[in-house]
Each structure stands twice: as structure tokens, then as C-alpha cells.
Chains A and B, each alone.
Chain A
Amino acid sequence: MNQPRAYFSKPWGYIESISIVLGILLVSIGFEIVSEIPTPILAFPYNLFSLIILFGGSLLIHFFSRSNKTIAWFSSIPASVGAIILFLTLTLIMACVPQQNESHSYQFITNVTSSWAYYCATAYLLLVLGAVTIRRLGSFNRVNLSFFLNHAGLWITIATASLGAGDVAKYRMTLSKDTTEWRAINSQNTIQEFDFALHLYAFEKEEYPAKIACVNPHTGTIYTHNNTLAIFEADSINSFVYNDYTISVQKHLPSSLFFAHEYHPINEYGATQSYYVNITHMPTQTDTSGWISVASIIQPAHYLTINDSTTLAVLSPEAKRYASHVKVYKKNGDMYTAVIEVNKPITIDGFKLYQTGYDETKGRWSDISILEIVHDPWLPFVYFGIFLFLAGTGMIIWFGKKR
């Protein structure tokens, strides 16, 4: 080990690094308690200014590093470790104390991400990380590339995600069938009007073929069969055996209504899935046939009795996909149609529209559709940072610690 040296004598090491971050932590907490000034939510253009100032700060550290050893220290490993530890200290508080969203005194404990300490920790981390990244720019080789991808990727991700958060806007829009809507509710429950309007002309929900189950008619529980639940996928097999019975599916109507003693293939309001099945009791070779179906919003379900303790039923189908078919009207007179589907959002004037819900009590005949509208202008930059970071991580896994 080195000779003992005086506190804050050069070259600085870990002790000085920890002292500096402890200073930052105490000053920011002290400022919060004494001043009671809440942290600002940085929206455009102030977040952009902050980004430029932080990046400029890193550049300044880099340029003055040549002439000043103390400034050069801020792009050293001990400085980096200190910056990480400061950030982790606040993370540890969040990890242990349930966080609240409202502003509060002692934010650094109960609402860490809105505290001055968190702002300062993030700023210090970005300053050091930026300076470290710039310092290693220069000769290009594999090790430096991995270094750059990891450090620049992390810098871009943290900087754009945290500073961009102030510009993210979210709204919830409820569309009713055959009506036009241009208003949505934001997170503060106030109504926002948009420069575009949506007309829901169709809501579409596709279902998987409903499964058939052997249930106890008194309790509604599903029996087990060969150690598994007695549920049968009627789309892949035409007949199946349950104890002494062979059950064969004669017909499957994905969309049907019941009248005149049977189901007919009809695709109208309230239509449901139905099966025509034949049950054979094998020891006696006696047959029973009939319709079984899922309940719909206008008709009850149909069951078929196998014996006193067993009934054949159809389970509620699972959603395969659901989508809103809309006409989009814009202020300039443009009009076009679009489909908004889960995981397939559409973009109008920089707003992303996500399909999030519908009236679940009505299932595929829902006459409302719920959309989430998000405006996140910094998203491409965040993704760019994450992409660099992923590439750097891939290099770490592949090359390990080989020098």
C-alpha cells in the first residue's frame, strides 16, 4: 500500500472522492430543508439549456485538465466511482423507503427523484461521465470503441431520459362508436383539445377459438383429466376422450346467434362462439348431441349435460387482437383512415396513439375504445443512447476482460 498521505493532498484518491460527493449530498439536502424551494420540472427549452450546460461543463473539464491536475482528477476512476456511489446512495433510499409522488418536506427521503439531492447527483454523474467519455476519444481501437459505446451510451440515455421527462405529455382519449372526438384528459384530469379529431367507425376484436371444458354444474369448477384440467382446444382436435365419453366437435361457428332451436352463422351485434358436439357414452354406445356456446351480451350460454355431475361448457374466448378503425380529421382539411392496434400505435403530428382498452363487459361488441396519447419528443435520442449502450454491452460479453 502507499505511504499515508495528508487528506486532500495530491494526487486525490477515493477518500477525496467520497468527501466531495458527501459534500454535494449534504449541501443539496441542506438547501432543500432551509430554502424549501421545490425542484423545477425542466421543460423545453430549459432542459435543452441544461443539457448544453452539462455537456459544456464536461468539455471545460476536459480542456482545463491539461493545465490543472485538480480538474483532470474529475475524469479519473476515483471521481467516477464517487459519482456512481452518490447516485447509488439515493437509489438505496428509494429501494428502502416507499416513494410518494406529491411534493413533501424531506423529499430526499420520500420523493427522491424530485429532490435537489437527486438533481445534483444526476448532474455530477453526467459531468464526470461526460468528461471521462471525451477524454478517451482519440485513437480508435477495439477497447476504446467498447469504452466509448458504454460510456457515451450511458451518458446519452441518462441525459435525454431524465431531461426529456419534463416534455413528456400523456392523455387518455375515449372514443365512442360513430362519434368524433378531439378531446382527451391529461394526468391532471384537465381536458385538452387537439388539432386533430378521430371518428371511430369500427371496433374490431378477434378471438381465439373458445376452449371446451368439462365442469361440475353445481360449483362451476373444471374437472381434471389425466392429471391435467379437462380443457380441450377444439381448433386443433376434432374429438377427445373424457372418462367413458368420446366428445366430437361437428361444427364450430366463430360468430353465431341462437334462434329456432339452433345456432346460425350470423355476424351481428351480440354474436358469439358456438359448437355443435356429439357425446358418445362408450360402454353403452349411446349418443347425445347439442349446441354449446359462450354467453353473449344478448343471449345466455348453452351447456350440454354429460351426466349428473358433469356438464360440457365453452370457456370465454381469449382476445387475439383488438383494434380501432378510425377516420382522422386534421385542421387543414386532411382526412384519412387508420387502424390503431395493441403494439401498433399510430403517429399524428408527433403524438403517438396507443390502443389500450375497450368495454370489457361487452367484449367484441364494445362500442367504446380507449386510447393513450403520448407526446415524447426526446424518445429518439433515448433510444439512440440505449442502442449504443446495448452495442457496448454486447462487446463486454464477447470480449470479457481481455486486454
Chain B
Amino acid sequence: MWIHFELFARISLIAWIFAVSLFIFRKSALHIIAEILSLIGIVSLLYFTISLWISLDRPPLRTLGETRLWYSLFLSVIGYALYKRWKYRVFFVYALAMALLFLGINYAKPDIHNKALMPALQSIWFIPHVIVYILGYAFLGFATVLGITGLLHMKKKQETSKTLAEAENLVYIGYGFITFGLLFGALWAKEAWGHYWTWDPKETWALLTWGVYLVWIHMNYTKPYSHKFYFVFLILAFIILLLAWFGVNYLPAAQNSVHVYS
């Protein structure tokens, strides 16, 4: 079945590349075309995934190539849903770009289609767990960009209420996704090892990140402090997030982590 991959992947790749390019323009007529192209790409990949499933006679969840297929599919679908819901164009472009990246890896390096996953990773939780983190980190990353923008606006003595309100919404959505990530991870761990929580260093850092954003959300609820406080806090929170994401592998506490995958 993978021999047909090139055709479907090519359709999705081309459709999405055009969609992303059209989304860069501000004209709304172009956005409608971009939306249609995105949907064509999604349908093409969905059709391929379903046929692959039927031909393999098992859910395509066992190899790295197969997981990438799902990343592409879900990122484009969720990106589209969030675009319809929130009209965050930049987000849809990001989701499509990530979907393109995963599809591109499969397209350029087909041999890793067949690299079998270790048994613990052969779980229905694997893909949702990774996808919600990709999305959550992206939303929080964009919120941080708004935090920096807000600080620059303040320097120029410009109004920042709108920037803060937008950042709040992004933090809420991003926080929602990383909560999903934590909970999916817990459910998966229970199934695989019989514990929902083992204080694995990555888990601990992910909890810390989650908690810092939780504090931000609570302190932001009645806004007793200046906008500057919230913007600076967002940047510091993102530094913890980055530590959780990249830094954990180098910590002495992480020597036996199940999450070390560099």
C-alpha cells in the first residue's frame, strides 16, 4: 500500500503548500481557496490512511512512518477546526506547516515507514499524546510572542489591553491542550505500566510547566497587577516550558526517564 503513498502524499503536499502560501495574503477570497485546498489535502491523506488500514488489516499504528501519517492528518484536521472556531489564520498555517513537515519526512525517507515501534509505544494514546503537546506548545509559544509584543507596545506607550486579551485566549487554549497531554499520558501509563503517574522527570517538568500556566491563569482572573507583570510572567513561563521540552534530557534527575528520546 505504501507504494501508492507517493501519489496521495503529492496531492496533499501540493495542496497544502498552496494553501499555506495563499493564507499569507490578507485577501479573504484567497482564504476561501486556501481552505478548499487544505480540505483537498486532508481528504487525500484521509483516503490513503483508511486504505492503508484496510490493506494492513490492522490500525496503522505500529511504525514511525505510520505515526507520522497520523500526526499530519490530525494536525491538519485540528488546525482546520480551530481555524473555523477562532479564525487564527497563523495557527492554521502553523498546523499545516507541521503536517507538511511530517508528511515530507515520510515522502523523503520512505524506509522509516517500516521501523517498528517498541511495544510500549504501540498504544492508541501515543498519537493523541504527542499531537496535543505539539498544539499546546504552539499556542503557548504564540502567547509568549504576544507577551513580547505587549512589552514593546508598553515601551512605546501604546495601549496593550487587546494584546493581553488575545494572549489570555491563547494561554487558555494552550493550557487546555497541555492538560490533555498530561491526562492522556496518565491514561496511557496506566494501561502500559499499571501506574498513572510515576514522577518520571519529564512528567515532573511537564507538571511544573502546567502548574506555572495554571498560576498565570488564576492571577490573571481579576488582573490585580499591571499588564507588564502578565507579559513578563508569560515569557518566564515559556522558559520553563522550553526546559521541560529540551532541557530534561540533560538533567541528572533524568537518567532513567522513559521520555528521553534524543
Residues of A within 8 A of B (CB): 1, 13-14, 77, 80-81, 84-85, 87-88, 91-92, 94-99, 113, 161, 170, 211, 227-229, 231, 233, 236, 318-320, 342-343, 354, 372, 374, 376, 379, 382, 386, 389-390, 393-394, 396-398, 400-402
Chain A residues in 8 Å Cβ range of B30: none
Residues of B within 8 A of A (CB): 1, 55, 58, 85-86, 110-111, 114, 116, 119, 123, 165, 168-169, 171-173, 175-177, 179-180, 183, 186-187, 190-191, 194, 196-197, 199, 201, 204-205, 207-208, 211-212, 214-215, 218-219, 221-222, 224, 226, 251-253, 255
Chain A residues in 8 Å Cβ range of B1: 236
Q: B176 touching A389 by the CB < 8 A rule?
A: no
Q: B199 touching A99 by the CB < 8 A rule?
A: yes
Given A88-B211, A98-B255: A400 and B196 interface contact (C-beta under 8 Å) = no
Q: B173 touching A95 by the CB < 8 A rule?
A: no
Closest to B179 in A: A393
Closest to A87 in B: B211
Q: B172 touching A401 by the CB < 8 A rule?
A: yes
Q: Is the interface of B mostly helix, strand, loop or mixed?
A: helix
Complex alpha-carbon distance, A374 and B194, angstroms: 8
Most chain B CB atoms below 10 A, which of A228, A372, A402? A228
**Which one of A84, A227, A231 lies within 8 Å of B215 (CB-CB)?**
A84
Closest Cβ of chain B to A154, distance in Å, is 9
Q: B187 touching A386 by the CB < 8 A rule?
A: yes
Closest to A237 in B: B3
Closest Cβ of chain A to B178, distance in Å, is 9
Complex alpha-carbon distance, A95 and B209, angstroms: 11
Q: B218 touching A77 by the CB < 8 A rule?
A: yes
Chain B residues in 8 Å Cβ range of A161: 196-197
Chain A residues in 8 Å Cβ range of B183: 386, 389-390, 393
Q: B86 touching A400 by the CB < 8 A rule?
A: yes
A sample of 19 inter-chain contacts (CB < 8 A) reads A77-B221, A81-B215, A91-B204, A91-B208, A94-B253, A95-B201, A98-B252, A98-B255, A161-B197, A343-B123, A379-B190, A390-B180, A393-B180, A393-B183, A394-B176, A397-B180, A398-B85, A400-B169, A401-B169
Closest to A99 in B: B199
Complex alpha-carbon distance, A231 and B171, angstroms: 46
Most chain B CB atoms below 10 A, which of A227, A320, A386? A386
Q: A99 touching B253 by the CB < 8 A rule?
A: yes
Chain A residues in 8 Å Cβ range of B119: 319, 342
Q: A354 touching B179 by the CB < 8 A rule?
A: no
Chain A residues in 8 Å Cβ range of B177: 397
Chain B residues in 8 Å Cβ range of A372: 194
Given A96-B253, A390-B183: A113 and B111 interface contact (C-beta under 8 Å) = no
Q: B199 touching A113 by the CB < 8 A rule?
A: yes
Given A94-B199, A95-B201, A236-B1: A396 and B175 interface contact (C-beta under 8 Å) = yes
**Which one of B58, B173, B197, B207 lies within 8 Å of A400 (CB-CB)?**
B173
Closest to B178 in A: A393
Closest Cβ of chain B to A164, distance in Å, is 10
The 5 closest A-B pairs by CB, nearest first: A228-B111, A397-B176, A396-B176, A88-B211, A400-B169
Q: A85 touching B215 by the CB < 8 A rule?
A: yes
Complex alpha-carbon distance, A396 and B170, angstroms: 11
Chain B residues in 8 Å Cβ range of A228: 110-111
Chain A residues in 8 Å Cβ range of B190: 379
Closest to B205 in A: A95
Chain A residues in 8 Å Cβ range of B171: 401
Q: B253 touching A396 by the CB < 8 A rule?
A: no
Chain B residues in 8 Å Cβ range of A386: 183, 186-187
Can you add 16 more A-B contacts, CB < 8 Å, to A170-B194, A397-B173?
A: A77-B222, A85-B215, A88-B208, A88-B215, A91-B207, A95-B253, A96-B251, A98-B252, A229-B111, A319-B119, A372-B194, A379-B190, A386-B186, A393-B176, A397-B177, A402-B169
Chain B residues in 8 Å Cβ range of A400: 86, 169, 172-173
Closest Cβ of chain A to B220, distance in Å, is 9
Closest Cβ of chain A to B57, distance in Å, is 10
Chain B residues in 8 Å Cβ range of A390: 180, 183
Chain A residues in 8 Å Cβ range of B221: 77
Given A80-B218, A228-B111: A396 and B194 interface contact (C-beta under 8 Å) = no
**Which one of A227, A233, A318, A376 lies within 8 Å of B111 (CB-CB)?**
A227
Complex alpha-carbon distance, A382 and B197, angstroms: 12
Complex alpha-carbon distance, A319 and B118, angstroms: 11
Chain A residues in 8 Å Cβ range of B186: 386
Closest to A233 in B: B114
Chain A residues in 8 Å Cβ range of B165: 401
